[in-house]
């Protein structure tokens, strides 16, 4: 898929935001634990990806009601839905000077279109050594989902089915989409939010 950058300036993919609050001490502390100066940008990205995918639980998978949004909140409670996990991954990588953006997919909520759609979040990482963007999905693996870090071919959690009106949005956003932030800020029960209130389109 041809990805489209929202901004031509890579520095805009390094900005600190409310949701990507990498100056927070808990983010900085985790970065010190995960990274060292001998690691390449690709090694750092894989380490961060593996950590967020495997060590931060997906709220729906563990049936937790807690809602997290900002990266520091996600790291503190060690859980969040895909939106929140994408904020944490971006935070860890931007802190290390690795440009990271936000990508989205429109997916069926269940197995048939009649049950509705939702927006799913993932990340795109720019590697200077490769001169290209790579999409990764740290939502967390489980039966039927096997997302991996790969600089060769995408190994995402979900493959869209265009015949069912699912969609890969091609834009790499510099900030989390406003609809994503709003839904996280407006709800306090992650399970209710996940079932009934996720946006169905951007």
- The domains of the chain, with CATH numbers, are 4-196 (3.10.620.30)
Q: What is the pTM of this model?
A: 0.97
What's the CA gap between 27 and 91, in Å, rounded?
A: 8
Residue pLDDT, tens place only, 159-169: 999 999 999 99
Residue 30 class from Cβ within 10 Å (0-12 exposed, 13-18 middle, 19+ buried)? Answer: buried
Q: How high is the pLDDT of residue 154?
A: 95
**Rounded Cα distance, 179 and 194, in Å:** 14
CB contact at 8 A, 50 and 102 = no
Q: Determine the Cα–Cα distance for residues 73 and 71; give it in Å rounded to an integer.
A: 5
Report which of 102, 111, 117, 91 is spatially closest to residue 15, judged by C-alpha positions.
Answer: 91
E strand residue ranges, 18-71: 57-58
| Alpha-carbon span 93 to 127, nearest angstrom | 11
- Look at residue 104 in the predicted model and tell me its pLDDT: 98
* Beta carbons of 125 and 64 less than 8 angstroms apart: no
pLDDT for 115 equals 82
Residues across the chain: 202
User: How does pLDDT run across 182-193, given as a tens digit for each residue?
Assistant: 999 999 999 999
Lowest mean pLDDT among 110-114, 165-169, 198-202: 110-114
Give me the mean pLDDT over the 2-17 stretch.
Answer: 97
Question: What average pLDDT does this structure show over 30-46?
Answer: 98
What's the whole-number mean pLDDT along residues 176-202?
Answer: 96
Please list the residues that pair with 58 across neighbouring strands: 80
Q: What are phi and psi of 163, to 5 degrees?
A: -65, -20
* pLDDT exceeds 90 at position 155: yes
Percent of the chain predicted with pLDDT > 90: 96
CA 164/CA 176 separation, integer angstroms: 25
- Residue 45 Cα distances to 99, 125, 147, 178, angstroms: 10, 8, 14, 25
Q: What is the CA radius of gyration of the chain?
A: 16
pLDDT band of 111, cuts 50, 70, 90: confident
Q: What is the pLDDT of residues 135-154, one digit of tens each?
A: 999 999 999 999 999 999 99
Q: What pLDDT, on a 0 to 100 scale, did the predictor assign at position 110? A: 80
What pLDDT score does 92 carry? Answer: 98
- Residue 95 CA to residue 59 CA, distance in Å, equals 25
């Amino acid at each position: 898929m041809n990805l489209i950058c929202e901004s031509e300036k890579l520095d805009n993919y390094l900005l600190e935001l409310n949701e990507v609050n990498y100056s927070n001490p808990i983010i900085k502390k985790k970065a010190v634990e995960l990274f060292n100066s001998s690691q390449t940008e690709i090694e750092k990205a894989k380490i961060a990806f593996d950590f967020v995918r495997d060590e931060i639980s997906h709220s729906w998978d563990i049936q937790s009601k807690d809602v997290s949004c900002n990266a520091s909140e996600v790291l503190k409670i060690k859980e969040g839905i895909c939106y929140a996990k994408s904020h944490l991954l971006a935070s860890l990588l931007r802190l290390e000077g690795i440009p990271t953006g936000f990508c989205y997919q429109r997916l069926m909520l269940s197995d048939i279109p009649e049950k509705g759609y939702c927006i799913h979040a993932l990340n795109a990482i720019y590697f200077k050594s490769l001169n290209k963007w790579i999409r990764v999905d740290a939502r967390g693996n489980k039966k039927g989902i096997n997302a991996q870090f790969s600089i060769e071919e995408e190994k995402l959690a979900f493959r869209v089915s265009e015949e069912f009106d699912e969609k890969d949005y091609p834009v790499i956003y510099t900030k989390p989409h406003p609809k994503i932030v709003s839904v996280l800020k407006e709800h306090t029960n992650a399970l209710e939010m996940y079932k009934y209130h996720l946006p169905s389109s951007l």
